[in-house]
Amino acid sequence: DAGVTQSPTHLIKTRGQQVTLRCSPKSGHDTVSWYQQALGQGPQFIFQYYEEEERQRGNFPDRFSGHQFPNYSSELNVNALLLGDSALYLCASSLAEQQTYGYTFGSGTRLTVV
Amino acid sequence: AQTVTQSQPEMSVQEAETVTLSCTYDTSESNYYLFWYKQPPSRQMILVIRQEAYKQQNATENRFSVNFQKAAKSFSLKISDSQLGDTAMYFCAYLWGYSTLTFGKGTMLLVSP
């Protein structure tokens, strides 16, 4: 049973460019959450998708956007990259009615903006 | 807004010893859930233990146990018989209703031989 799969694992982009990160949730899960983890910090919530809609959003600018597809996979898009966007981006999945049991996380995408 | 505070940036312990990691949180809710996650160098967050706030009994998972003090809003993790594989970042996290997981800044635990 595959867990949460994220791609790519590492990415280097230039300031001002755009990036798309991808996530496939654990089999059977229908909710996807995205987190940004700066070096030495705890993960910060970006947004959560359920039934192809953004259900909740954290304190991130509109440059961060996302999408969920009918097969529950998800994308995170970041426009006009800044040096401060360099971080580990974690995707987590859960079943909507069971999210109080915790989330299953992927291994993340390490984004470096130069 | 809910906040989670981990006041120990780093902890060290020798193999086979016991260590306790601290966590406090702030909430006005009465029914919520608390978690400890482990993040080894592989980067993947792994759920260690979960506590339901309405349950008085402290959760236990093998060598891992918690001391949940609801009135004090404290949720510490005790690791018994520490092993080298326990070396990792440990994050305390909070969740309420249909909100999302809120994490603390983490505690780096180093287990030495």
Q: Which residue has the tokens 């987190």?
A: A35
Q: pLDDT tens, B74-105?
A: 999 999 999 999 999 999 999 987 778 999 99
pLDDT value of position A2: 67
Q: Do B43 and A102 touch (CB under 8 A)?
A: no
Q: What counts of helices (H) and strands (E) characterise chain B?
A: 0, 12
The residue type at A4: V
CA geometry: angle B99, B100, B104, nearest 5 deg: 125
pLDDT value of position A1: 56
Q: What average pLDDT does this structure show over B36-47?
A: 92
Q: Do B50 and A108 touch (CB under 8 A)?
A: no
Compare CB distances from B103 to A43, A99, A101 and report the shortest one's residue.
Answer: A43
Q: Which residue has the tokens 């590492």?
A: A10
Which chain B residues are Cβ-neighbours of A56 within 8 angstroms?
98-100
Q: pLDDT tens, A45-78?
A: 999 999 999 999 999 999 999 999 999 999 999 9
C-alpha to C-alpha distances, A109 to A59, A88, A98, B31, B43, nearest whole angstrom: 20, 6, 26, 33, 10
Say how far apart CA B7 and CA A102 lie, in whole Å.
Answer: 23
